[in-house]
Structure 1
């Protein structure tokens, strides 16, 4: 027995020494880096994108090609891989503001704080601000509003993410060269109330009329030399050398964000990839550029546990990464590409207890619109029917837009699933705000329309996907990289180390 215990101790000591030496080697590699600074830096952040979100998209593509495996995304082709922890200074499960600040400044802060220390007293310099000081042109691109938590963390310094008006003033104060994607949430002020409805951060909830309007922050941006572009025609006219551009999507959905990729129209909408491609064209110059691109609605779709929409948002994000890779292939000795995430959302798992070991990711192709668009249909139905609701109508809408109940699509409904949908329809038609206070209601539907979320859950389960939360999780996040200095981003470390290493490279 003594010999066995002794042998186990020796093995544990050996493993400990190996891990210690690996960490030491990584730390040494970071501190001793003497290579050139990258001339072109792409920093992609998939908001809410953990390992599962990307892998689910790959499994979906594999299923469409009738393989029992995956089809790799562009981002998975990046050769250097790492993971990092995400906790905030005041909470183990972080929020987008604290995580964005960690990734932009290298400093831990409190949940909801933008670009400031944990006490919300001291502004922290961001990697984008440092890049500008060093002569790089700077671009910030996002599929959500450009004053949302993650993009804001690269140019703003405010005590709370909900101070959208102050954040939008910081935007034009930054002097960055290119902003693109969503619009401004509150360009005429936040009013005497800071929005307490957290769902407003996910593009949901009614906007409020302001009694006391502030000077319009978009007008202030124009006075500071910025030009707004918000049509497809004018967007296409933008060219290399254009400066101080704020390009806003022509069609904005809830929360002043781009429509979900699954809902976009290729002729009248501008995708995240197109905004990225145009950013490369505008920013490219002899002194180089830094561009942060956020796939912000991956997070929103994960909050709603909408697997099909999550996949499409990951694919839109990956299309943007593809544009950076095209540029990299022309400038491999001068370019660094990082693909990261701020946190995981939803506790998305490639496996559901009810499906045992079965997966059928291809069924997700039968969902034709996002949870947001379907919720809008339910609202319209409720409004037009004026109390004359029929459960058969709800089931017909679910069948039309999710495929659920269509036996030809292998989406027959069990008796239990039908019962779930019927109960959810009744709750949707008789919804009252006080229902949100009920624990059972929240565990079933979160803060979303009951019929919508139930349809999303049943389709996810038929695909073999499980969800544990309507919120963020603390899972470590993968980071992938290629190019100049990419060796610094290999290993397992903290999210604050990412910008610290970027700053070393730029310095």
Structure 2
């Protein structure tokens, strides 16, 4: 039996308190956090904690990221403990763990457990992205990168292809996705080969954009003049310059922070809110190349872009901001075998001193070597632009490794110089598989250790968006909606395939990678693009197209819970 004092405590104190709690819960029921108005996702491609620590030492003060660290993310994909950017981006964009090289499609195979169940059971089925969902919610959407816009990470938010290498298809889908603001490089994939571009289908996508009411700008002066409207900023034929090279090699190109601020300015004019992806694309390339100069420049500029986004988000109060790498690259360490005997005495000044002398990225350094590939020219170029006096043996080793690396000849600089003349270590020219840091602020901010697909799912949930419902609305296999014999793919022009559907003695035409339905005399813009997957010979259409062909006037399926 309990003591008399315990009985009195329960009767006269605890029970009244419990009663008050029950009454209050009935009068003021708990409510879920309201959906956010805006989402900004900032990805520092190929980064990890050591790179961030190095950037902080170099800067000499805290990073903007430091104040919003909340956890970490596991990065493995469906078939490897080490992901590539396409599979990592798909996890963030569509909430699905997929195979290496795949752009926002469900996995063909899954070999790495645990693999969270997903309602998309069909291999290689398009998976709708948070950007597509935000657009259907009436929000403005944007993508800002320092690579070409068809590169792996931005592709995963805008397109659906079995390979990240399908730049022409990815670019075309991006053009027909009705995205409000797109900034980066890759102009050559917008122009036909007949006009000096790379498009084999001979389409001029810049003309298409202009016809659809976009402004197409090509330099930072035009960027700063923008104050409203839809825009594609194509600032380079391929990728933008490394930040450390930009002012000397391409001063007309805007910085990542400038593009981020302008994108937020344009997108935030929508009362319904916006979704924005920002990527510091070349942090990854710097780490692939073991290039401290490229790394520091691009990572610190990424941090300035984070600060621009933070300034808006903290003032706005209705914005979820996520900042994180997609994976780590290079296996960078502060400390290497050279520092084995003095690491307990290594001072910040000594760590940073050789890096402060580096004035160009390794790729630009290699271009400055020019055609005179001699040890003497290597030594002269390195002392001039990196401030390091090489030996004859060092220069010969750089030339030997450069020949081995072929198109990535510049990798030889970091591989030879870093172990001997800096305290920076590297383990690989590829990616690594460790957990990566997570930074966030605002409503629905996550905390703790997350799985990579959780990023896509929580982004969707923050906007009250159901990715499974969205996929079901945007991607229906044509032969499941119509008799198989009524659907065929017209390859008359192999670079411009068209889906033909016969229905009640009429024929509908839907060009692949576009959001257009040709139905009799009508041309109906669709809310999603038509996707064709050669491997499975399947075509996917939005429900809107199916209803239009069948003459159905019922409401489109919901995409919110």
Match of 1:493 in 2: 450
- Tell me the residue number matched to 1:248: 234
Q: Deviations over 1:185-219 (max 9, x none)?
A: 5335799xxxxxxxxxxxxxxxx997954323333
- 1:291 aligned residue: 276
Q: Which residue of 2 aligns with 1:194?
A: none
Change (3 A) 1:90 1:214: farther
2-side partners of 1:268 and 1:184: how far apart?
A: 15
Q: Is the contact between residue 360 and residue 462 of structure 1 (CA under 8 Å) also seen in structure 2?
A: no
The question of 1:449 aligning with 2:409 is answered yes
- Asked if the contact 2:43–2:279 (Cα under 8 Å) also holds between the matched residues in 1, the reply is yes
**1:55-454 to 2 correspondence within 5 Å?**
55-62=53-60, 71-78=61-68, 80-119=69-108, 121-188=124-191, 212-239=200-227, 241-243=228-230, 245-249=231-235, 252=236, 256-265=238-247, 267-285=251-269, 286-331=271-316, 333-356=317-340, 357=343, 358=346, 360-382=351-373, 389=374, 391-405=375-389, 418-425=392-399, 428=402, 431=403, 435=404, 448-449=408-409, 453-454=412-413
Contact 1:402/1:455 (8 A) holds in 2: no
- Please give the secondary structure, in 1, of the residue aligned with 2:310: helix
The 2-side partners of 1:425 and 1:398 are apart by 13
Judged with a 3 Å threshold, the aligned counterparts in structure 2 of structure 1 residues 426 and 505 are, in CA distance, closer, same or farther, namely closer
Flag the 1:219–1:211 CA change in 2: closer, same or farther, 3 A.
closer
Is the Cα–Cα contact under 8 Å of residues 421 and 455 in structure 1 kept in the other structure? no
Assess if the C-alpha contact under 8 Å between 1:112 and 1:161 holds in 2. Answer: yes
Measured at CA, do residues 33 and 148 of structure 1 come closer, stay the same or move farther in structure 2, by a change above 3 Å? farther
Q: Is the 8 A contact 2:189 2:198 kept in 1?
A: no
1:352–1:461 CA contact under 8 A, matched in 2: no
Deviation, 1:75, is: 1.1
Higher helix share: 1
* Other-structure match for 2:468: none
Distance 2:82 2:199 in 1: 36
Kindly tell me the number of residue pairs found equivalent between the two proteins.
410
My pick for the range that moved more, 356-365 or 128-137, is: 356-365
TM-score of the aligned structures, taking structure 1 as reference length: 0.76
TM-score scaled to structure 2, two decimals?
Answer: 0.69
Measure the CA separation in 2 of the matches of 1:367 and 1:238.
35
Question: Residues 27-49 of structure 1: CA distance to partner in whole angstroms, max 9, x if unpaired?
Answer: xxxxx982122212110001101
Q: CA deviation at 1:300?
A: 0.8
Pairwise CA distance, 1:50: 1.4
Kindly indicate whether the alpha-carbon contact (under 8 Å) linking 1:272 and 1:317 is maintained by their aligned counterparts in 2.
yes
**Alpha-carbon shift at residue 231 of structure 1 (Å):** 2.6
How has the CA–CA distance of structure 1 residues 291 and 393 changed in structure 2, closer, same or farther, with 3 Å as cutoff? same
Relative distance call for 1:401 and 1:363 in structure 2 (3 A) is: same
**Offset from partner CA, 1:298-343 (integer Å, 9 cap, x none):** 0111111101210111011011111112212321x21221111111
**Is contact 1:420-1:454 (8 Å) kept?**
no
Specify the alignment match of 1:65 in structure 2. none
- Quote the Cα distance in structure 1 between the aligned partners of 2:320 and 2:31: 15
Which is greater in Rg?
2
1:427 Cα deviation from its structure 2 partner: 5.8
Q: Which moved more, 1:353-362 or 1:103-112?
A: 353-362
In the superposition, relative to structure 1, how do residues 33 and 469 fare at CA in structure 2: closer, same or farther (>3 Å)? farther
Is the alpha carbon distance of 1:232 and 1:84 closer, same or farther for their aligned partners in structure 2, counting shifts above 3 Å? closer
Distance (whole Å) between structure 1 residues aligned to residue 241 and residue 333 of structure 2:
25
Structure 1 counterpart SS, 2:35: coil
Q: Secondary structure at the match of 1:337?
A: strand
User: In the alignment, does 2:417 pair up with 1:458?
Assistant: yes
User: 1:20 maps to what in 2?
Assistant: none
For structure 2, the residue ranges without an aligned partner over 5 or more in a row are 1-29, 109-122, 465-561
* Residue pairs, 1:20-59, within 5 angstroms: 34-59=32-57
- Residue of structure 1 in register with 2:555 after alignment: none
Check 1:421–1:246 CA distance in 2 against 1; reply closer, same or farther (3 A cut).
same
SS in 2 for 1:214: coil
Q: Deviations over 1:115-148 (max 9, x none)?
A: 1111263110111111111121111110101111
8 A contact 2:242–2:282 mirrored in 1: yes
Name whichever structure is richer in strand by fraction: 2
Secondary structure of the corresponding residue to residue 334 of structure 2: coil
What's the C-alpha RMSD, in Å, of the aligned pairs? 2.4
**Residues 317 and 328 from structure 1, CA distance in 2 versus in 1: closer, same or farther, beyond 3 angstroms?**
same
1:196 matched residue in structure 2: none
The 2-side partners of 1:505 and 1:83 are apart by 19
Seen in structure 2, the aligned counterparts of structure 1 residues 190 and 494 have a Cα distance that, compared at 3 Å, is farther
**C-alpha distance 143-212 of structure 1, shift in aligned 2 (>3 A):** closer
CA distance in 2, matches of 1:506, 1:289: 10
CA contact (8 A) 1:47 1:294 kept: yes
Paired with 1:100 and 1:229, the residues of 2 have a C-alpha distance of 27
**Structure 1 gaps, min length 5:** 1-31, 63-70, 192-207, 383-388, 406-412, 437-445
